[in-house]
Each structure stands twice: as structure tokens, then as C-alpha cells.
């Protein structure tokens, strides 16, 4: 399966924050949207980096109580993991494993079109396993086959 197919199923788009938003503002956004990852971008749509829950935890470990007031631009990840809509899912999985990240930005023609998460990968693999199990049961029982 191509990463683009997962994007079609989950929908395209990313939640972005401005580089001057504080970590507390970003964490509230995480809470309110039940997410753990955002793109940090300027108003022109060009992304500067990403910010995850892990990045926020690392900021607290580094700056202590002062981390709450740090700007997204000060604590964001600038070494962003990306893949293409044309990449096969195992490519995205390999990037997640190699980079030890739970999120990968998905690009199409150089533009960011979405995010694929470890949760998206698990959902796809679980759906695939359930389809295979059903196909095997149908084969054994002689149903849905002619």
C-alpha cells in the first residue's frame, strides 16, 4: 500500500502552529484536539519544523519551569522526517524505526499534505490482518469462493 492511500482514508491536512506560540499554547492544542504532533510554520505555509509531545518533554528536561514560556521555534525539531505519497508503507515504517519517531510528514510534489503516524500504520496492519483472517475462514468454509 502506498502512503497516499492512507492519506486518502484518513484525510489530508495538518494542524500547524506559529513559531512564536508558547509551549503551553501548543500543549493546550494537543489536549483540545487529542493529538501529539503539529507542524510549525509561517503564515505563507512553508514549514519550519515540527513539534511533538516528546519535544515538549525534552524542553522541560532541559529548561525546567521556563520551558512553558519557550516559543515553538525554540524547541521544535528542525530535522523533520518526511516521505512521499508515492512511497510504500514499509518505507514510512522504516523511517519511523530508523529515526525513532511516531510521525512522518507526507509530501506530494514538495508540498506537505499530511502526517502519517504510528497509529495509522497499526490501524492499517490490523485491518489487513483481519481481512486475511476472514479470507482464510471463508476459504476453509467454502464461502465467498466459486
Q: Is 146 a domain residue? A: no
pTM of the model as a whole: 0.82
Is residue 59 classed as helix, strand or coil in its secondary structure? helix
Asked if 20 and 69 count as a contact pair (C-beta separation under 8 A), the reply is: no
Whether 112 is covered by a domain: the verdict is: yes
CATH of the domain at 119: 3.10.580.10
Domain containing 53: what range? Answer: 3-141
Cβ neighbour number for residue 135 with a 10 Å cutoff? 12
**Domain count along the chain:** 1
Burial class for 50, CB neighbours closer than 10 Å (0-12, 13-18, 19+): buried
110 in a structural domain = yes
pLDDT digit string, tens, across residues 92-137: 999 999 999 999 999 998 888 999 999 999 998 898 889 889 888 8
Amino acid at each position: 500500500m502506498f502512503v497516499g492511500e492512507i492519506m486518502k482514508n484518513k484525510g489530508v491536512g495538518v494542524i500547524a502552529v506559529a513559531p512564536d506560540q508558547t509551549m503551553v499554547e501548543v500543549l493546550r492544542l494537543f489536549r483540545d484536539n487529542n493529538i501529539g504532533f503539529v507542524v510549525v510554520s509561517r503564515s505563507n505555509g512553508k514549514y519550519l519544523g515540527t513539534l511533538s509531545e516528546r519535544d515538549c518533554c525534552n524542553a522541560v528536561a532541559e529548561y525546567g519551569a521556563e520551558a512553558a514560556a519557550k516559543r515553538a521555534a525554540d524547541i521544535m525539531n528542525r530535522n523533520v522526517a518526511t516521505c512521499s505519497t508515492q512511497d510504500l508503507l514499509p518505507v514510512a515504517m522504516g523511517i519511523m524505526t530508523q529515526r525513532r519517531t511516531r510521525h512522518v510528514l507526507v509530501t506530494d510534489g514538495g508540498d506537505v499534505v499530511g502526517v502519517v503516524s504510528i497509529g495509522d500504520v497499526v490501524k492499517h496492519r490490523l485491518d489487513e490482518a483481519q481481512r486475511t483472517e476472514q479470507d482464510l475462514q471463508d476459504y476453509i468454509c467454502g464461502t465467498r469462493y466459486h
